Copies of this chain bind each other. A is one copy, B any other.
Amino acid sequence: MNELEVLKQHISKRMSLPEEELNAFVAAFTVKRIKKRQFIIQPEFIARVRTFIIKGAFRSYVVGAEGTDHTIQLAIDDWWISDYSSYIFQKPATMFVVALEDSIVAQIEYEAEQRLKREYHDIETFFRMAAEGLAAYHQRRIIASLTRTAEERYNDFIAAYPGMLEKVPQYAIASYLGVTTQFISKIRNKKAASKS
């Protein structure tokens, strides 16, 4: 049983596909090993693949005008990652996507995905639901940024994604939440103090 089993289960959990279709879907992916600190996407280049994380951790980020970087997405086992706009519209990326630890991924090429969506109505539906879920997820993040303080956002985050806290460095979480590492330190400090 190979590493693609994880992907197969990820798909099956979301949508029941006939055996043949599921096999065709999974067969379109290639398994790859990525070393810590290795980039899988860089600005200027077109994101030609969509990446599913079998095991590992990744971070996507943009570098702002002032040179500081801003985390767009954090992803661990069983998540997808890419420069979404670059992949969807097949235009040059604006983000970096980098491995935060040695990882194993499954990647599908843009053209292969298009072919599968055209050939199988169900796979089109799978990606439609995936995109809807992503849009809803993004919207929750927008609402959080409008309605919650930095401290609340941090507490919400660790409550919602406890797995991230273990795998992902503090600076990545800070820049995902739009705060500084110093401020996260302050929050953690305060929490520890109130617990004694």
0/1 per residue, A181-193, Cβ < 8 Å to B?
0000000000000
A135 at the interface (CB under 8 A from B): yes
Contact A65 B147 (CB under 8 A): yes
A27 at the interface (CB under 8 A from B): no
A13 at the interface (CB under 8 A from B): no
- In the assembled complex, which residues on chain B have CB atoms less than 8 Å from the CB atom of A88? 132, 136
Main secondary structure on chain A at its contact with chain B? helix
Whole-angstrom distance between the Cβ of A64 and the nearest chain B Cβ: 4
Q: Please tell me how many copies of the chain the complex holds.
A: 2
A55 at the interface (CB under 8 A from B): no
**Looking at chain A, what size class is its interface with the partner chain?**
20 to 34
Contact A70 B146 (CB under 8 A): yes
Contact B146 A178 (CB under 8 A): yes
Contact B147 A145 (CB under 8 A): no
Shortest Cβ distance from A66 into B: residue: B147
Chain A residues close to B by CB (< 8 Å): 62, 64-65, 70-72, 84-85, 88-89, 117, 121, 124-125, 127-128, 131-132, 134-136, 138-143, 145-147, 175, 178
A and B contact pairs by CB, cutoff 8 A, 10 listed: A62-B143, A62-B147, A64-B147, A71-B146, A72-B143, A84-B135, A84-B139, A85-B140, A88-B136, A146-B175
